Each structure stands twice: as structure tokens, then as C-alpha cells.
A and B are shown apart, each in its own frame.
Chain A
Amino acid sequence: MHSRFVAEAAQSPLLPKPAELIVGAIAFGLLFLVLRKFVTPMFEKAFAARTEAIQGGIEKAERAQLEAAKALESYTAQLADARGEASKIREEARVQGAAIIEDLRAQAQEEAARITAAAHSSIEAEREKAITSLRAEVGTLAVALASKIVGEALQDQVRQSRIVDRFLEDLEKSK
């Protein structure tokens, strides 16, 4: 039977052969079923997974960027705080420093005054002492000198001291 088809087809290449039509249809149908069942869903799955992976990556990157921006903001704020703090501390330090210097100056002045006063009083005391001892010595010396000159001992204690006093008064007046 097939030889008749072959003979027909040999006359015109435009006439189909039943065997080829049947096999062609079955083969194409089979291939279609296989590709649709096993191949195209897998490729679609890969595409979807890839899209998702890329999208996920983008989202992750965006999240990271947001976090970084937030961190930067907080750092900037902290830095500004720290700057303010530092300037406040500097200000305080300057004020304190000024106060300390003032304090020290006052202390030094006080000390100086105290030393000066001490020196004055000590000088005064020395002078007093010197005057007292001078007075005694000058008296003795003068009496001794006078007795030597006058030849008469001025035994009387009371008179002696009165003479000396008068002498000294004269001395002071003459001065």
C-alpha cells in the first residue's frame, strides 16, 4: 500500500505522505508535551529565582544603605554634641582658670602683706630692744664717764636714772 503513496509523492513533492504526517504529528506532539512538562517550567523557575535573587539583593542593599545613612546621622549628631560639650568644658576651664589666678593673686598679696607686717613689727621690736639696751648702756656709760669727770659717784639709783632720762630727753630734743 505504501508504495502507492511513494509513487504519488514522486510525481509531486507537494503531496504529503500519510506515514510522515502521522509520525510528524505524533513526534511534534510528544516533543511539545515533554518540553512543556519538564523543560519550560524549570527554565521559568530559574528565571523567577534569579529575578527574586536580584530583587532581594537590591532590597538588601537598600536596607544597608538606609542603615548606613542612619548611622551617619547619629554619628554626626554625636559629633556635634561632643563639640558643644568640648566648648562648654573649655569655657568652664577658662572661667575656673581665671578664678584660680585671681585667688592665687589675692593669696600672694595677703602673704606679702603679712610678711611685710611681720617684718615691720620685728623691726619695731628690734628697735625697741636696741633703744632699751642703748638707754641702759648709755646711762651706765654716761654715769661712769661723769663720775670719772666729776669724781663723785652717783650712787643714788633714783637720781641716776632721772639724770639719764633727762639727758636722753635733751638728746632727743636736740636731734
Chain B
Amino acid sequence: MFVSDVAGPGFVPPSTNDFNLPPVFGNSAYTTKPILLVLLSIVLISIFFIAASRKAAIVPGKLQFVGESVYSFVRKDLAEEIIGHGFLQFVPFLFTLFTFVLVNNIFGIIPFLQFPAMSHVSFPYVLAGFSYFIFHSIGIKKQGLGKYLKGIAFLPGVPKFAYILLTPIEIATYFLIRPVTLSLRLFANMFAGHLLLLVFIGGGDYMLHDSHLLLKILSPFSFGFGIAMTFFEFMVQCLQAYIITLLSALFIAGALVDEH
């Protein structure tokens, strides 16, 4: 209301263009902020976990304890619970997926970094692609290509006429919807979350610099809401890292089971 009354066209709301950042240095598509952040994330994750697991002590120190907690969370609560028998071979993939997404998401609220790489849809596509490739190849390896595809297309124990309806749905689920749910959920959450922070913090900044006194006075509310949303974002970031790992584990588990 105040904005439309007083400021008029002065305030430019954040848009998708705010996600297209110019290269940090040089003039290459490979030196943009999200790419550098992804590279930073794998370096940090590697260093942290190598340092934490190096000793492999029976009685862990603080560092090992923290690293182990993350690892055993993925190992026990995700892999073992969902996949069950033979889960151990998938733990490295799920562990990588979880830590990679988690750290890159949290970069979104770390001062100075402040950008979630997963809000660029390319990265979720890549992750979904890996997951997609893995669970399909497991299914084919476990059951053979024909049996696997038949199991997907024709659900056993369903009356024949139902296949008219079910077969297209099942095929679409396995080959189209699953990768989309994996990638777009993560992307959209990070994208929207970052946009939300831009709105409140950018809006607060605009209000503070506006000549109108009332807007100046009200600007702390916008900033305050921005800070509150930052905490909320932290929760969403952790949750999304958990969800993409959970879904991948579920798909793997589904491919391992003979009957769908």
C-alpha cells in the first residue's frame, strides 16, 4: 500500500533475473557464483569428512563424532531403514547426495556466500540424473531388462482392464515423474526461498533509503522478517537435502524389490 502510494515505480521487485549472476572473474560461463560455490562445497565436504574419519577411533573425538553422526544418519535412518538388506553398497552415493545438497543449500544463508546453488536448476537436474540412472540400472541388473520393464508397466495382481489406465500412469511415474519430483522439488524450494529473502531484505533496504519517513520507520519490520525467514530457510534447506536423499533411497529400494 505504502509502496504503491508513495514510492510508485521506484521499487523494482526481485525477479528471476536476480539469479543470473555475472561471472565472478573473467568472462566465462565457468566462473559464475553457483559454479564456484559448488566447487567450494566439494572441497569443504571432502576436507571435513576426511579429517573426521581419518582416525576411525573406537572412542571418537569431537570431530569424528560430528562426522559420524551425519554419516550414521544417512546410513541408518535412510539407507538401512528404507533399503534394508544389501543397503551398504548404496550408502556412499546417498551420503554424497545428502552432504552435497545440504552444504550447497546452507550456503544460501552463509554470510558473503549467500546463494543456494540448487536454485540453479542445472544442479538438481544433474543429481536427479544420477539418482535416475542408479535406480534404473539397479532394477535392470537385479531383475533383467524385460522383467523390470514388465514389472513397471504391468503391475501384478491387477485386473486386466485396469492396465488401460495403470500402464501409462506407471510408465510416466517411473520414467518422467520421478526425476522431475527429485529435481524440481529441490530447485523450486531453493529458488523460492532465495527469492523470499531477496524480497524482504531488498524491500527493507529500499524502504530505509526512501525519502518518506514512514517507510524508513517501517523498514526494520521488513529486515526482521527477512531474518526470521532466514531461520525458516535453514530448516527448509536441511529438509530438502533430507527429502532428495530419502526419495532416492525409496526409488532404489523399489528397484531392488521384485514385486512392485
- Which residues of A come within 8 Å of B, CB atoms? 2, 5-6, 9-10, 13-21, 23-25, 27-28, 30-32, 34-36, 38-40, 42-47, 49-50, 53
A31: contacting residue among B96, B120, B187, CB under 8 A: B96
- Interface size of B by CB at 8 A reads 51
**A42 contacts B54, C-beta separation under 8 Å:** yes
**A36 contacts B92, C-beta separation under 8 Å:** yes
Tell me whether A17 and B120 are in contact in the complex, defined as CB-CB below 8 angstroms, given that A35-B99, A45-B56 are known contacts.
yes
| Complex Cα spacing A90 to B191, Å | 97
Tell me whether A40 and B58 are in contact in the complex, defined as CB-CB below 8 angstroms, given that A31-B46, A35-B99 are known contacts.
no
Contact with A along B215-234 (1 / 0, CB 8 A): 00000000000000000000
**A9 contacts B53, C-beta separation under 8 Å:** no
Q: Is the interface of A mostly helix, strand, loop or mixed?
A: helix
Tell me whether A20 and B122 are in contact in the complex, defined as CB-CB below 8 angstroms, given that A6-B29, A40-B92, A50-B58 are known contacts.
yes
Contact with A along B90-125 (1 / 0, CB 8 A): 011101100110000000000000000000111101
**A46 contacts B123, C-beta separation under 8 Å:** no
Is B211 on the interface with A (CB-CB < 8 A)?
no
Task: Give me 20 other A-B pairs in contact (C-beta within 8 A), A16-B121, A25-B129, A46-B64 excluded.
Answer: A2-B28, A2-B29, A10-B20, A13-B121, A21-B125, A23-B30, A23-B35, A23-B38, A24-B122, A32-B93, A35-B45, A35-B49, A35-B95, A35-B96, A39-B49, A40-B91, A40-B92, A43-B75, A46-B58, A46-B60
**Interface residue ranges of B1-43 to A (CB < 8 Å):** 16-17, 19-20, 28-30, 32, 34-35, 38-39, 41-42
Chain B residues positioned under 8 Å from A25 (CB to CB)? 126, 129-130
| Complex Cα spacing A18 to B120, Å | 12
Is B50 on the interface with A (CB-CB < 8 A)?
yes
Chain A residues positioned under 8 Å from B135 (CB to CB)? none
**A20 contacts B123, C-beta separation under 8 Å:** yes
| Complex Cα spacing A2 to B27, Å | 9
Is B132 on the interface with A (CB-CB < 8 A)?
no
Minimum C-beta distance from B64 to chain A (A): 7
Q: Which residue of B lies closest to A7 (CB)?
A: B20
**B95 contacts A34, C-beta separation under 8 Å:** no
**B58 contacts A53, C-beta separation under 8 Å:** yes
- 13 A–B pairs (Cβ distance < 8 Å), ordered by A: A10-B16, A10-B17, A16-B125, A19-B28, A23-B30, A28-B130, A31-B46, A35-B95, A40-B71, A43-B67, A43-B71, A46-B56, A47-B72
Chain A residues positioned under 8 Å from B19 (CB to CB)? 13
Tell me whether A28 and B50 are in contact in the complex, defined as CB-CB below 8 angstroms, given that A10-B20, A20-B34, A46-B64 are known contacts.
no
Chain B residues positioned under 8 Å from A5 (CB to CB)? 29
Tell me whether A34 and B46 are in contact in the complex, defined as CB-CB below 8 angstroms, given that A40-B92, A49-B58 are known contacts.
yes
Minimum C-beta distance from B66 to chain A (A): 12
**B100 contacts A19, C-beta separation under 8 Å:** no
